Amino acid sequence: MDLTQLKWTKNIRPTGDEPWAYSQYGKNFLFKLSWRTNEVNASRPQHGDLILLRQQGYVTHLVRVLDHKSEREPWKGEFNIYRIVEVVWAIHWASPQAFAKAETLFGYPGVLKYEGGDIMELVMLPTFQNRWGKDLSAFQERVKTTFSPT
């Protein structure tokens, strides 16, 4: 699997009574990844880019952006901005794997401080740069060998 387009991370939170956000979507499923109010931020990833979704201290999904820009659903309340994504990998929901802990996968505990719902470009995060530098290839290889998505 080619992970050269892995450039982003986004913190997500479940809404309602679900313990995990987007847990109903496994590998190869498509869904609308939501943003609260920041349409400019939602439009940053390009078609084909990969995003690591994090929640509750875990990386829970690796998703690929399928559309070319953000859209808005006027009826959906405050989480009405979205991108269409495809699940490349998802955590085992009943028993999350230890390697999927965000600080384990990223290799540093500072990743747990990446909060809010905006998308973050990995190479722009100072703590990411301190651990991995600005060349994403080593981190992309770590994700590839850890997840072994096929």
Q: What is the reported pLDDT for 34?
A: 93
Sketch out the chain's domains with CATH numbers. 6-147 (3.10.590)
Q: What is the reported pLDDT for 76?
A: 63
Higher-confidence residue of 106 and 149: namely 106
Number of Cβ within a 10 Å radius of residue 69: 12
| Average of per-residue pLDDT across 61-76 | 89
Residue type at 52 in one-letter notation: L
Q: What is the reported pLDDT for 149?
A: 47
Alpha-carbon gap, residue 111 to 108, rounded angstroms: 6
Q: What is the pLDDT of residues 23-50, one digit of tens each?
A: 999 999 999 999 988 899 999 999 999 9
Q: What is the pLDDT of residues 108-146, one digit of tens each?
A: 999 998 988 999 999 999 999 999 998 999 999 999 999
At a CB cut-off of 8 Å and minimum separation 6, what does 122 contact? 6, 7, 8, 9, 128, 132, 136, 139
In this prediction the pTM is 0.94
Element (H, E) at 85: strand 81-90
Q: What is the reported pLDDT for 5?
A: 97
* C-alpha neighbours within 13 Å on the C-beta side of residue 115: 3
